[in-house]
């Protein structure tokens, strides 16, 4: 009985991981420009939010998810890569449910540096 419980617990953990293919449309991209409001250097994914003005001039809070910190550090990122107030341009694979969020494909930092993370399926 203990073995069965252990196997079920392990399997539940495996199936709980969402993955970018399920949450985001990897066949199209959206590009937005805005100011960073939050930056989280944490597992399982680095995440940040930015305020973006829509076509009517309303501020919309967008979220962008990236890879784990260990992977992002290989691309030169750190805990201090972004800070509140930074104006950035991001290209994301948008949420499949239409929420203002996406999986980061490319970012243009305040100093003009560009980091292209590519498609997560590659």
Confidence of residue 8 (pLDDT cuts 50, 70, 90): very low
Backbone angles phi, psi at 42, to 5 degrees: -150, 160
Checking if the pLDDT of 120 tops 90, the result is: no
What is the domain range of residue 59?
Answer: 20-116
The answer to whether position 83 is within a domain reads yes
What's the CA dihedral at 83, 88, 91, 96 to 10 degrees? 60
The answer to whether position 3 is within a domain reads no
The answer to whether position 122 is within a domain reads no
Please tell me the total count of domains within the chain. Answer: 1
The answer to whether position 65 is within a domain reads yes
The answer to whether position 104 is within a domain reads yes
| CATH number where 49 lies | 2.40.50.140
Confidence of residue 119 (pLDDT cuts 50, 70, 90): confident
The answer to whether position 92 is within a domain reads yes
Give yes or no for a contact between 52 and 32, defined as CB atoms under 8 angstroms apart. Answer: yes
Give the tens place of pLDDT for each residue, 30-74: 999 999 999 999 999 999 999 999 999 999 999 999 999 999 999
Q: What's the CA gap between 45 and 66, in Å, rounded?
A: 6
DSSP 89-100: EEEEEEBTT--S
Helix locations, the chain, DSSP H: 2-16, 20-23, 69-74
């Amino acid at each position: 009985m203990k073995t069965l419980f252990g196997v079920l617990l392990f399997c539940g953990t495996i199936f709980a991981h969402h993955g970018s293919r399920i949450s985001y449309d990897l066949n199209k991209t959206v590009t937005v420009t805005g100011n960073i409001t939050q930056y989280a250097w944490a597992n399982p994914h680095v995440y940040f939010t930015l305020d973006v003005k829509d076509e009517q001039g309303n501020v919309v809070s967008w979220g962008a998810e990236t890879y784990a910190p260990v992977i992002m550090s290989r691309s030169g990122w750190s805990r201090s890569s972004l800070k509140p107030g930074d104006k950035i341009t991001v290209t994301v694979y948008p949420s499949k449910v239409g929420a203002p969020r996406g999986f980061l494909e490319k970012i243009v930092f305040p100093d003009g540096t560009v980091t292209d993370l590519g498609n997560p399926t590659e």
